[in-house]
Amino acid sequence: MNKQASFFESVSRNFDKAAANTKYPKGLLEQIKTSNAIYKMNFPVKIGGKFEVIEAFRVQHSHHRLPTKGGIRYSHYVDQHEVEALAALMTYKCALVDVPFGGAKGGVKISTRKYTVEQLEKITRRYTVELVRKNFIGPGIDVPAPDYGTGPREMAWILDTYQQLKNGEIDSAACVTGKPEKTNGIKGRTEATGRGVFYGLREYLTLEDEVKALGLQTGTGGKTMVIQGLGNVGQYTGLISIEEGDIKVIGVSEIEGTIVDPNGIDIAKLIKFRAKKGSILGFPGTKTLKKREDWVSIKCDILVPAALESQIHKDNAAKIKAKIICEAANGPVTADAEAILLKKGVVILPDMYLNAGGVTVSYFEWLKNLSHIRFGRMEKRFDQNAYSNLVDMVTRLTGKTIGVKERTLLTKGADEVDLVRSGLEETMINSFHQIRANYTRKKNVTDYRTAAFITALDKVASDYLTMGIFP
Ligand code: NAD
């Protein structure tokens, strides 16, 4: 087996491929490509009576806009190159969805399964202290969020530690996003990445010519899907695709193995089953495949890698039978695998666009924290009364009445979650069409990743050019 392209190499090669389609000066492209600041730390934490030295990173990829923004990953695979690749993707992702941040990412090299909740809390708090000490966190500096192995719980610990150290800082709640709703979070953040994946896929599936060329009908209804990774992103992608898209999830792969059911797997029930039994294997109605890795070769319309990078590589890419790959995870397809897949005519909806729902709603959360007010608080009641008056007038003028259910629907004012979902939907649709413009208009661009990269590059380059650093 020849050496596989690493995640870092793949991001770098993809960047170069897109950059070759632009006319920006070499120096500017180099500046955009490189990580602006890297903080590698080793700190001691007392675990079970003994000190353990924990290796961790925070990479700020681009300072062209501040604050920088990006999740924190807990995984034993973490290394500097992985965090740099993830941070770079955040820069392009933010630019693509018009979220005014530079890209960043954090990584703590630990396997979460090896630690108790109390030990994870200790590690998280110590990591936060290190970030504060080096000025690598703050509402206007660098704003972390969840990623693989972390979630709202860790974000709450980060916020609490930050606030203890920065007593009285009025905007301190905006130092981290993806927080629990009760501690200054926002409704709709937990599901945001999966929901964004669904909106992006749904938008692609409206393109009659392209979808027909794949041998499929437009629309999400009745399509089959296979998901790798039933964590935050995989779960919500599955749940929302079933509920709102009438998609059938026929295969799920997790650490313990891969299960299939051609009649469709109820993801809501599977999540409960796994929480109780600690495994997806044995879920009623499903068959377990011999090898976990065989998830890639299940015949389906849509394959959703939602676990880690480099899962689809040059040695398994040819086995893929899906027509569309939805990159819910970051970097799940290596550059070598992509070349094989594009030749086979597989469409790849790229990570930097498709999983941008998380950072989009994180942006809404940051805005909410800075404005110190919940979205919808000022206008909800006003809208409700205005709609109510309108319905009353129509019923008076027509002499016809409507049922309570219809009335409630027509007179509803928008709640925070309605506004968050609407903002996310708008963002995913708009960004898709910006990317598509480059996909259809640029002569040498034949894949969505390169089109997305160029779209992002144009925006980041334009920021640098307005600064006057690169005349
Ligand atoms: P998570 O930790 O919640 O879930 C990941 C899941 O993948 C876990 O259940 C894990 O057991 C499973 N997994 C790991 N290796 C596997 C393997 N070899 N086969 C099958 N399953 C495996 O993480 P997440 O937050 O859902 O992140 C998943 C991916 O999505 C990552 O690439 C992350 O960078 C990306 N992402 C996450 C967010 C977010 O908001 N959380 C946003 C954008 C992108």
CATH number at residue 104: 3.40.50.10860
Paired sense of beta strands 142-146 and 68-74, if any: parallel
* Residues 177 and 301 occupy one common structural domain: no
> Is the residue at 4 inside a domain?
no
The answer on 327 and 247 residing in a single domain is yes
- Please determine, for residue 230, whether its predicted confidence score (pLDDT) is greater than 90: yes
Q: Give Cα separations from 192 to 199, 368, 417 (angstroms).
A: 10, 16, 11
**pLDDT, tens digit (0-9, with 9 covering 90-100), for 383-424:** 999 999 999 999 999 999 999 999 999 999 999 999 999 999
CA 40 to ligand 1 center in whole angstroms = 23
292 DSSP 8-state letter: G
The rounded distance, in Å, linking the Cα atoms of 238 and 264 is 11
* Separation of alpha carbons 202 and 112, rounded Å: 34
* Integer Rg of the chain from CA: 23
Mean pLDDT, range 318-343, rounded to an integer:
97
Taking a C-beta distance cutoff of 8 angstroms, is the pair 445, 436 a contact?
no
Averaged over 122-136, what is the pLDDT?
Answer: 98
pTM: 0.96
For residue 435, pLDDT beyond 70: yes
- Report which protein residue has its CA nearest ligand 1's atom 8: 231
Q: Look at residue 295 and tell me if it is in a domain.
A: yes
102 strand-pairing partners: 68
* Among 68, 58, 59, 57, residue whose Cα is nearest residue 94: 68
Q: Which residues fall within 8 angstroms of residue 75, CB to CB, at 6 or more apart?
A: 107, 109, 110, 111, 112, 148, 149, 308
**Residue minimizing CA distance to atom 18 of ligand 1:** 255
Domain stops at, among 127, 159, 185: 185
Ligand 1: residue of 233, 309, 363 to mutate (most ligand atoms within 8 A of CB) is: 233
Average pLDDT for 281-309 = 97
- In this structure, what are the phi and psi dihedrals at residue 325, rounded to the nearest 5 degrees? -110, 120
User: Is 211 within the bounds of a domain?
Assistant: yes
The structure tokens listed for 193 are 């990445």
Among 148, 252, 259, 326, residue to substitute to test ligand 1 (most atoms within 8 Å of Cβ): 148
Type of residue found at 139: P
Sign of the alpha-carbon torsion through 399, 400, 405, 409:
negative
> Residue 402 Cα, ligand 1 centroid: separation in angstroms?
47
Catalytically active residues are 105
- Residue 269, phi then psi, degrees to nearest 5: -70, -35
Nearest to 301 by CA among 216, 206, 213, 208: 216
* Residues in Cβ contact with 137 at an 8 Å cutoff, skipping those fewer than 6 apart: 58, 128, 131, 143, 144, 158, 162, 175, 176
Contact 420, 186 (CB under 8 A): yes
Does the Cβ of 431 fall within 6 Å of ligand 1?
Answer: no
Quick: pLDDT tens for 249-285.
999 999 999 999 999 999 999 999 999 999 999 999 9
> What percentage of the chain has pLDDT greater than the value 70?
99
Of 353, 384, 401, the one marking the end of a domain is 353
Cα of 255 to ligand 1 centre, how many Å? 11
Number of domains making up the chain? 2
43: phi then psi, degrees, rounded to nearest 5: -130, 150
- Domain match, 95 and 153 both: yes
* 306 ligand 1 Cβ < 6 A: yes
Is residue 198 located within the same domain as residue 228? yes
Q: What is the DSSP string of 317-352?
A: GGG---SEEE--SSS-B-HHHHHHHHHHT-EEE-HH
Return the pLDDT at 4.
78
Above 80 in pLDDT, residue 244? Answer: yes
Average pLDDT over residues 222-227: 98
Mean pLDDT, range 350-356, rounded to an integer: 98
| Ligand 1, atom 39, residue with closest C-alpha | 147
Are 126 and 206 found together in one domain? no
| Tens-digit pLDDT profile for residues 45-68 | 999 899 999 999 999 999 999 999
222 in the same domain as 78:
no
Collapse the DSSP code of 225 into the 3-class scheme (helix H, G, I; strand E, B; otherwise coil) and give the result. Answer: strand
Reported as a pLDDT band with limits 50, 70 and 90, residue 471 is low
386: tokens are 């205005």
Q: Of 334, 353, 372, which residue is a domain's last?
A: 353
- CB of 356 within 6 A of ligand 1: the answer is no
Instruction: Report the sign of the C-alpha dihedral through residues 31, 107, 329, 81, in that order.
Output: positive
Q: Same domain for 73 and 140? A: yes
Classify residue 270: in a domain, yes or no.
Answer: yes
The predicted structure's pLDDT at residue 49: 92
Average pLDDT of span 115-142: 98
- pLDDT of 441: 87
**Band of pLDDT at residue 140, cut at 50, 70 and 90:** very high
CATH number at residue 202: 3.40.50.720
pLDDT of 1 over the 90 cut: no
- Mean pLDDT of all residues belonging to the chain: 96
Cis peptide bond prior to 471, omega within 30° of 0: no
Distance CA 240, CA 197 (A): 9
What is the b/e burial string over 369-398, where b = at least 16 CB atoms within 10 angstroms of the residue's CB? Answer: beeeeebbeeebeeeeeebeeeeeeeeeee
Cβ neighbours for 432, distance < 8 A, ≥ 6 positions apart: 200, 203, 204, 353
pLDDT the model gives residue 2: 62
> Whole-angstrom Cα distance, residue 15 to residue 12?
5
CB 462: neighbour CB atoms within 10 A?
12
Question: Is the pLDDT at 454 greater than 80, yes or no?
Answer: yes
pLDDT of amino acid 54: 98
| Residue 418 resides in a domain | no
Same-domain check for residues 104 and 42: yes
Q: State which H helix or E strand residue 73 sits in.
A: strand 68-74
For the segment 108-118, the average pLDDT, to the nearest whole number, is 97
Helix intervals (H) in 224-356 = 232-245, 267-277, 335-344, 351-354
Residue 268 covered by a domain: yes
For residues 342 and 264, membership in a common domain is answered with: yes
Domain that holds residue 176: 37-185
Q: 297 and 177: one domain?
A: no
- Whether 416 is in a domain gets the answer no
Same-domain status, 207 and 85: no
Tell me, yes or no, whether 236 lies in a domain: yes
Q: Is 235 in the pocket of ligand 1 (CB under 6 A)?
A: no
C-alpha–C-alpha distance, residues 62 and 59, integer Å: 9
b (16+ CB within 10 A) / e for 109-132? bbebeebeeebbbbbbbbbbbbbb
Range 10-36 average pLDDT = 95
Judge if 181 and 199 occupy the same domain: no
